């Protein structure tokens, strides 16, 4: 994992699970708020994960998007200043766990090393109402990540919804609607758990696109059936 840094960004609610999962995975930096509980801070500082605490910005943005930008940007600036040899950084929400993390990295090492990929995403949502790249886990060249996660003092930052605002600001077009998609992480050899709602993202393929290859035809049929059922329930009049 040389030349790569990982930023855990956000509150410390799931510090025990996150520390257990990511400790020993190279350069890992947790960026969170100065107001976080001291017992959680102690768990992080007693691990191999580096801790960076910052003030919460006054402008939170729609759905707190500016908070996500602030923690990610602080981590990127820290990396650029203290680890100039790091060229690739990945930001991960602090309520998400990539299981078998070293295997995940190995599966994506060539993708990460390629200078052609300014940014790499986890997946995207495409529906009649919403079309956007997922921002839960995003990796890329440090300078590109700084541009993508730039903070804002605009009270309307994040409208009409956060992901759309971020991608429009960076790409100046909608990658999903225009079918000009960036690279996506290969998650065949891992599971991604979203701890807050208690779900495995790979079970949500009826809602979002993830870079997963199914081993058998019957699984593709099952996936399509779930997707059809989802749209029938969500968009029926």
- Domain count within the chain: 1
- Residue span of the structural domain in which 61 resides: 4-235
Q: pTM for the complete prediction?
A: 0.86
What pLDDT is attached to residue 206?
60
The enclosing domain of 76 has a CATH number of 3.90.550
**Which string of DSSP letters, residue by residue, matches 184-231?**
E---TT--EEETTTTEEGGG-TTTEEE----SSHHHHHHHHHHHHHHH
Q: What is the pLDDT of residue 208?
A: 80
CA-to-CA separations, 158 to 6, 33, 100, in angstroms, rounded: 24, 21, 32
Residues of the chain falling short of pLDDT 70: 205-207, 212-237
């Amino acid at each position: 994992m040389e030349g790569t840094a990982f930023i855990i960004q956000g509150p410390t609610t799931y510090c025990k699970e996150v520390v257990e999962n990511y400790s020993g995975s190279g350069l890992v930096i947790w960026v969170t708020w100065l107001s976080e509980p001291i017992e959680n801070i102690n768990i992080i500082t007693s691990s191999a994960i580096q801790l960076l605490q910052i003030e919460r910005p006054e402008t939170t943005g729609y759905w707190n998007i500016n908070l996500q930008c602030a923690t990610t940007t602080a981590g990127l600036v820290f990396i650029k200043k203290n680890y100039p040899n790091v060229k690739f950084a990945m930001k991960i929400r602090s309520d998400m766990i990539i299981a078998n993390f070293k295997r995940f990295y190995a599966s994506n090492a060539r993708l990460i090393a390629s200078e052609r990929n300014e940014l790499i995403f986890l997946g995207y949502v495409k529906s009649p109402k919403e079309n956007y790249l997922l921002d839960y886990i995003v990796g890329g060249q440090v300078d590109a990540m700084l541009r993508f996660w730039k903070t804002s003092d605009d009270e309307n930052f994040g409208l009409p919804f956060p992901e759309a605002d971020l991608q429009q600001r960076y790409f100046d077009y909608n990658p999903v609607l225009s079918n000009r998609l960036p690279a996506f992480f290969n998650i065949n050899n891992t599971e991604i758990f979203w701890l807050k709602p208690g779900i495995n993202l790979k079970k949500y393929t009826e809602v979002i696109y993830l870079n997963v290859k199914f081993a058998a035809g019957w699984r593709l049929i099952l996936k399509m059936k779930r997707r059809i059922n989802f749209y029938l329930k969500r968009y029926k009049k």
